[in-house]
Structure 1
């Protein structure tokens, strides 16, 4: 019996060997001693005897036994050898009573390398066992900026609380996120019951995922499990059968594909051309009944400048398309649970298109969209990578460039203020475009940047500081609250007690929503969504008519004419704000001469041009009410030194225990 099993195992080994040779890969077991050459190991930590997953046993500790095994741990040597005889004896033992003696291994980066027990591992892998008992000694690398080392240190923190070693992620932050999703107290040690529940759910998920071909994706099972738990909730996941998990996994498959490709985003910079038919005519001829469209606001639009702009867009639809579009709205959504419940109710009422108007509603949007593929759900955000929803945003930087031209032309002392709120994706492009527009007409101009959401800052304090520094021309918030008597928005000039409004960069949300709805009705969005493994972001600008700038009669005619000419060129794609040599504050060149920055580079800007005085604040510097959105969508200034980058010297080393072990198997 054992001879037959050995022959089968040897064939598996030879197949793996030949396959590795054909691919130019290592055909033998990886050797830890070789892997650690040049690696700074700061200590060893005994973990005792624990069950370790066989799929994470990847090699041997030294070169001694390497050539007896293929890289899949299957035997290569002939059966008529001492090695073959011992392997066969272990095979009989496993069949008759099971292998119980623990092996000895080193754990490094949550992978295991055998010190003693290579043949036992080989036999257990042959029989598709899941775990094996092992005496484990952890080798701890020095903490560095290497991604895998960072993830490993997060894993060690996770292991301290859970003693779970079968989870591994490919990105930072996931271990902490898993604790937050699965435990009432993410900092508490897990009970035996928690470990059992999680292990059972993880096993069912891995079996289901593999059955659907998930092992062919370049993701760890843990990567996909985290997405699964995040979408469906841990309590629900714990109760799911394998059959239920399979059905849910199928619904999330496109999300897994996007994750496997690094969550790539495809930016659509223009609406799809629909011929000469006008929007009104299109709706009249193509929709036999009203399209029900809902808007979800996390606050009251009457109390939020941002949401009020979207409310005006909703009212625009009601006014211009009363016979073809019916709109509903819900507001003051205080939690994700409320958002999900509200959207479920809207869908039950027959709503076919839902717009969620802030990035804070992304998670709820995804969770509802997964279960309602018949409903189009779109979120107003930028650089959002989900397949089940699309996102939309406006290229305000184009009109901010024009506003900067006006400010630069009119400022006599070359000092201009810029009031910003959230340091999130897209905001940096607005600031830089404004500064470049100002410099285009005044090469000596400086833009002084302040953030109203930074701790200790208020708009009043910022404006007072500008006044004290002789800054009279200021770019401020785009919208104001309804019924507000405040005139300090857009671009304005402060003369003593008087505020003179000069220009108003603005969003045309009504036009934006009309075109998005048209794209849904005519199937364009479905056609766009056919692009596999990428999320779709609609990022439209002047050419689509979804942003504009209005100049007051206080702007000189010559300046107004120049702004009109440049605006027309931008609209026709004949001029671009981010063209030519661009330097950051640290004087590094971010764009070369005669080149235009790509949309992706503009979207992900995390630096300020060299005529901006100020900085991009860190999330720790933000007011509490601003932290959630900045954590989700924030940008970090890449010209700043990394905090704590020299801290490695001062780290406390873990307890070290040196042991001499040798391969006896």
Structure 2
């Protein structure tokens, strides 16, 4: 028997198997028909895409019902052998095996799926042989947009396609196409060159194959969803030319991260240090070696300086039981990975990476070294492979707002923020709430220090505002500067510090290490949840220092509110308040969640100013916002 006849027999057997399976599930066994799908859909326009390469897996049906009963789902034939249909299929099979099928089919695209008008058997033959794509003359049917998630995803896809001409990627939720453009390093107004399109198609095609081989078909995530997880760990620039074997290895390595995404495993916020006592704690005399990896140095960065003080305080608290090493200048991906690898090689029991910019390097190191215990100083991160830690600074900012609201002579208060990352917006709003609680007329003028217009501090000064909330840490190169915390300017222009919110990193590190020594590391683990430590004033990891010159009444009020926050009887984000766009938020009877506080992307109505756009930020801020921003570009 001719081999092509054997191929038709196999295809027919597969088609009949699919046919029976569909009937058992109570589904139609035939091809979906676009004509029927459009009966209750308003098409607002048609667009000719010309002849393009389309993914065969997205060719799912037929334009009209006249052809749909010749095939089952997946375009497998169900017509008997020795029919005119089977002979034509066999001839096409011969053509494919001898020289390839070259004539393009004609199809309609609807919601990035394709319905064949002409060329059904060509699609059937190529699908049977596992081809990836087919040439097609395409007419796009664009439905009227609505508020459904499906419609929003498709509208994003249309914008993405006009820039890239790539139709093989799809996402299960809105935001995916914008996230992909950001990960690839392009914006929503920069068309791709032919080289960029070709390069991405080859890369994505290889990634897609690896994803399916690893078991992607068993997950609810699309290959595009999985790609975003991958690109959040391995950047596109260094990955686009990787051999398929390397992609396969890396995808296997991060598979738990992908499964975590698929199962919507939670970011588990631990709001207080664990009180679990395990039956078999670590031997109390165990000598620990702990590494601290810094992006900069204590001499060049106030952030690193504060963490270095914390490292030394923590080491002193354990009286020789803990030995620490410090690795500086991890200011590039390569340098960060090298520093973390050095810490692992050195036998560190715990590794603290002290900047959100070190998150990706931390995750990669943890995935490559599953026994390593790595903690990154960041917030709201979804990676189960590392743990993160941060402090609820908004509690101290609320109290600073109370002080400013009491003392401002003209109801105007300035606030200088750096960049809109997780937690920062909560700090701003908490400050404004505190001011409004004691002074209903208080207005907060918001400026930003990490934008292309860097003179925010000067704009506040020229506005005649006497009380300003500025950075929280002393800058090493200006140790005598008074532009920290809440300060005010007297009639002679002399600055006076009024209050300072402080990070007690030593207390935080000491608490984590003690928890580890008594065996609490495993106790905090919950399935595949990503563990985020987010502690507040009640744990002593943040605090507020007030000037002795504060009026006694103000000092007493701040002390009372501080005690209430620490005891849990008062929550700054409670009550009824209004946002800048006029939305009323009612948290009088129900509590705002920690997740809502972390991800705030709105400002209160007594704040003048706005959240800066991504393009308005300085490059150093853009890099951080890309990782931890409340509005990622």
Range class of TM-score, shorter chain = 0.7 to 0.9
- The match for 2:549 is 554
Give runs of aligned pairs for residues 258-337 of structure 1, distance below 5 A.
258-261=260-263, 264-274=266-276, 286-289=284-287, 291-337=288-334
- The match for 2:469 is 475
Q: Alpha carbons of 1:276 and 1:116: their partners in 2 closer, same or farther (altered >3 Å)?
A: closer
Give runs of aligned pairs for residues 218-617 of structure 1, distance below 5 A.
218-225=220-227, 227-228=229-230, 231=233, 240=243, 242=245, 247-261=249-263, 264-274=266-276, 286-289=284-287, 291-458=288-455, 460-466=457-463, 468=464, 471-482=465-476, 484-496=479-491, 497-532=493-528, 534-617=529-612
Deviations 1:619-661 (A, max 9, x none): 2222344222233323359xxxxx9xxxxxxxxxxxxxxxxxx
Q: Distance in 2 between matches of 1:524 and 1:237?
A: 41
* Residue 147, structure 1, aligned to residue 153, structure 2: yes
Q: Residue 14 of structure 2: which of 9, 15, 18 is its match?
A: 9
Q: Is the 8 A contact 2:19 2:29 kept in 1?
A: no
* CA shift for structure 1 position 166: 4.1
TM-score normalised per structure 1 = 0.82
Deviations 1:485-516 (A, max 9, x none): 11232122322233332222111111111122
Q: Is the 8 A contact 2:413 2:444 kept in 1?
A: yes
* CA shift for structure 1 position 74: 3.0
Q: Is the 8 A contact 1:13 1:76 kept in 2?
A: no
Q: Distance in 2 between matches of 1:191 and 1:399?
A: 48
* CA shift for structure 1 position 480: 0.9
- The match for 1:658 is none
* Residue 618, structure 1, aligned to residue 618, structure 2: no
Q: Distance in 2 between matches of 1:132 and 1:441?
A: 66
Deviations 1:306-329 (A, max 9, x none): 222212111111222241211111
* CA shift for structure 1 position 188: 4.3
Q: Alpha carbons of 1:460 and 1:173: their partners in 2 closer, same or farther (altered >3 Å)?
A: closer
Q: Residue 45 of structure 1: which of 49, 65, 76 is its match?
A: 49
* CA shift for structure 1 position 578: 0.7
Q: Alpha carbons of 1:462 and 1:346: their partners in 2 closer, same or farther (altered >3 Å)?
A: same
Q: Distance in 1 between matches of 2:557 and 2:50?
A: 73
Greater alpha carbon shift after TM alignment, 220-229 vs 421-430: 220-229
Q: Alpha carbons of 1:43 and 1:94: their partners in 2 closer, same or farther (altered >3 Å)?
A: closer
Q: Distance in 1 between matches of 2:630 and 2:107?
A: 42
Q: Is the 8 A contact 1:20 1:27 kept in 2?
A: no
- What are structure 1's unaligned runs of at least 5 residues? 638-642, 644-665
Q: Is the 8 A contact 1:403 1:437 kept in 2?
A: yes
Q: Alpha carbons of 1:191 and 1:206: their partners in 2 closer, same or farther (altered >3 Å)?
A: closer
TM-score normalised per structure 2 = 0.86
* CA shift for structure 1 position 472: 2.0
Q: Distance in 1 between matches of 2:89 and 2:115?
A: 19
Q: Distance in 2 between matches of 1:224 and 1:91?
A: 34
Q: Distance in 2 between matches of 1:122 and 1:217?
A: 26
Q: Alpha carbons of 1:287 and 1:89: their partners in 2 closer, same or farther (altered >3 Å)?
A: farther
- The match for 1:660 is none
Deviations 1:437-460 (A, max 9, x none): 122222222222222223333354
Q: Is the 8 A contact 1:101 1:133 kept in 2?
A: no
Q: Distance in 2 between matches of 1:523 and 1:207?
A: 42
Q: Distance in 1 between matches of 2:28 and 2:419?
A: 50
- The match for 1:131 is 132
Deviations 1:18-37 (A, max 9, x none): 2552xxx6654233345554
Q: Alpha carbons of 1:411 and 1:101: their partners in 2 closer, same or farther (altered >3 Å)?
A: closer
Q: Alpha carbons of 1:131 and 1:411: their partners in 2 closer, same or farther (altered >3 Å)?
A: closer
Q: Alpha carbons of 1:236 and 1:634: their partners in 2 closer, same or farther (altered >3 Å)?
A: closer
Q: Alpha carbons of 1:326 and 1:115: their partners in 2 closer, same or farther (altered >3 Å)?
A: same
* CA shift for structure 1 position 240: 4.9
SS at structure 1 position matched to 2:73: coil
* CA shift for structure 1 position 371: 0.9
Q: Is the 8 A contact 1:433 1:577 kept in 2?
A: yes
* Matched pairs, number: 611
* CA shift for structure 1 position 384: 1.8
Q: Distance in 2 between matches of 1:535 and 1:273?
A: 19
Q: Distance in 1 between matches of 2:308 and 2:66?
A: 72
Greater alpha carbon shift after TM alignment, 132-141 vs 84-93: 84-93
Deviations 1:180-229 (A, max 9, x none): 59xxx99543299x75x974x65665444334322111222244345446
Q: Alpha carbons of 1:87 and 1:321: their partners in 2 closer, same or farther (altered >3 Å)?
A: same
